Homo-oligomer: A and B are copies of this chain.
Amino acid sequence: MDLTELKEKLLMMAIQAERAVNEALRALIERDYDLALQVKDSDREIDRFEVEVDNMAIQLLVRAPLASDLRMVTVAMKIAQNLERIGDEASKIAKRARDLSEEPPIHVHIDLPGMAKLALNMLKVALDSFVNRDPTAARALIPRDKEVDRLNKEITNHLADYMMQHPDAIKRGLHLITISRSLERIADHATNMAEEVVYAYEAQDIRHTGMKAGVSSRV
């Protein structure tokens, strides 16, 4: 077992996390109660992946890897933790999709699928930057979190206005606000992953120039 296998495991985990988010969104849009239920299974699989990644990481650390690989392994564990949380958010979205599928539809113009697409693309870029040891790509990703934050605020404000005009839709509006916030969290996790990549690889660069790692800051 080596670093390559650990990376492959993380990629499989990321694909599963992406699938869970997509399933949850599809359940929401198609008002599909059963599909929403399935997301729980995907989430459980993601949890298992995290345990596997951790065990692989510990095995690698026990063998006292080179300092550069060591940092890679600890970042892998943190990325796994972020992916696990993304799975949790997918579960939360699915739970709200289930609740909404049992209520009358609400007609409001908000682009949750567009927001999801943005967040999932960030996840992909963050993962790639880790696998390719590319802190520049990771650093470029970080400001994009603001775009998702802005979308979340826009959607939440729009829904708040809608709720004021339609008090009977307040509970459904709250479900949609929760879903929007979950998507925003997914983008947060992707951003955290990118920050870990920057921190890991740029801290190494600093160390190579003879400066102390202790002076590096987290982007």
Contact = CB atoms under 8 A, between A and B. Distances in A.
A106 to B, nearest CB: 14
A78 interface: yes
Contact of A81 (B58, B67, B81, B170): B81
Chain A interface mostly: helix
Contacts of A199: 51, 54
A181 B179 CA distance: 13
17 contacts: A47-B218, A51-B218, A52-B214, A54-B74, A55-B214, A57-B74, A58-B71, A58-B74, A61-B70, A62-B70, A74-B74, A74-B77, A77-B77, A78-B78, A81-B81, A163-B170, A174-B177
Contact of A163 (B47, B70, B74, B163): B163
Number of copies: 2
Interface of A: 47-48, 50-52, 54-55, 57-58, 61-62, 64, 67, 70-71, 74, 77-78, 81, 156, 160, 163-164, 167-168, 170-171, 174, 177, 181, 199, 213-214, 216-218
Contacts of A47: 218
Nearest to A56: B214
A154 to B, nearest CB: 14
